[in-house]
Amino acid sequence: MPGYPFGGGNNSILIHTGQSALYIADGILEETLVHEASHTSLDAAHAAAPGWLAAQTADPDFISTYAEANPTTEDVAESYLTWIAVRHRASRISLQNYDLITQAIPNRLAYFDDMPCDLYPITSDVGIATAEAAPLSLSIYPTPANDWITVRTDQTLSANARFELFAADGRMVRSTNLNGQLRVDVSDATSGIYLWRCHVAGRTLGVGTIAIE
């Protein structure tokens, strides 16, 4: 319905279809979706986190007057959008805007740098590690999963190989040894998209996403 803005939170994004046309005309549809998705996926875990509050205090400025007027409810969503811009789409913004963002909120940007997130399709990389991937065949199934995730490899791995599962807000919800085939109990996980990572001795064996119902 026109005149009703999008909203985010409560594990959902509220979209008024009539408003979409106005956002498209103004060229801010994608920006709005990222903003509302940040509310939904990041606010609960990060808006009051000690690390975030420390970064907020250490930075010389807020990224927008809206964030400054609403530091506890809008700063994460306003800042995360600009983090995506400078870290993953710098070629699409002006050098002036790049400098304004990186000088205004350097500590917030560093906070997001350290936060594991699956940014596909913005990037095929994830924010967990930059270690070289090892050649290995991994099967992670089923998707969507219900009570169990099965992890199968084509070779026997060392005892310190790990399988990790991250929620959308960056929380690690599972970490267990990976050796041959194993089943990971996810019966108590809430529905959503999760990021998984397999690694051993500093080498990333595989990363991806899996849906849990």
Instruction: Report the C-alpha gap between 42 and 57 in whole angstroms.
Output: 19
Domain boundary among 62, 96, 113: 113
Statement to judge: residues 92 and 48 lie in one domain: yes
Asked whether residue 118 is assigned to any structural domain, the reply reads: no
Cα four-point dihedral sign 72, 83, 5, 96:
positive
| Residue whose C-alpha is closest to residue 141's, from 153, 125, 129 | 153
Statement to judge: residues 97 and 20 lie in one domain: yes
Token representation of residue 164: 């990790």
Strand partners, 64: none
Statement to judge: residues 12 and 107 lie in one domain: yes
pLDDT at 111: 92
Asked whether residue 157 is assigned to any structural domain, the reply reads: yes
Read off the amino acid at residue 149.
Answer: I
Question: Do residues 79 and 44 touch, judged by C-beta distance below 8 A?
Answer: no
pLDDT at 180: 58
Question: Do residues 208 and 196 touch, judged by C-beta distance below 8 A?
Answer: yes
Q: Helix or strand or coil: residue 176?
A: strand
Q: 189: domain CATH number?
A: 2.60.40.10
Statement to judge: residues 90 and 16 lie in one domain: yes
Domain count for the chain: 2
Domain boundary among 113, 147, 180: 113
Asked whether residue 144 is assigned to any structural domain, the reply reads: yes
Domain extent, residue 57, equals 7-113
pTM over 0.85: no
Asked whether residue 127 is assigned to any structural domain, the reply reads: no
Question: Do residues 76 and 46 touch, judged by C-beta distance below 8 A?
Answer: yes
Question: Do residues 143 and 211 touch, judged by C-beta distance below 8 A?
Answer: yes
Instruction: Report the C-alpha gap between 23 and 1 in whole angstroms.
Output: 12
Could you list the pLDDT tens digit for every one of the 213 residues in the chain?
Answer: 456 676 666 676 777 777 778 778 878 677 877 888 888 889 888 999 999 999 999 999 999 999 999 999 999 999 999 999 888 888 788 888 999 999 999 999 999 988 877 776 666 444 444 444 445 677 888 888 888 888 887 777 666 778 888 887 777 788 887 765 578 888 888 888 888 888 776 677 778 888 888
Asked whether residue 123 is assigned to any structural domain, the reply reads: no
Task: Say how many residues make up the chain.
Answer: 213
Statement to judge: residues 93 and 150 lie in one domain: no
Statement to judge: residues 104 and 149 lie in one domain: no
Token representation of residue 147: 């009570």
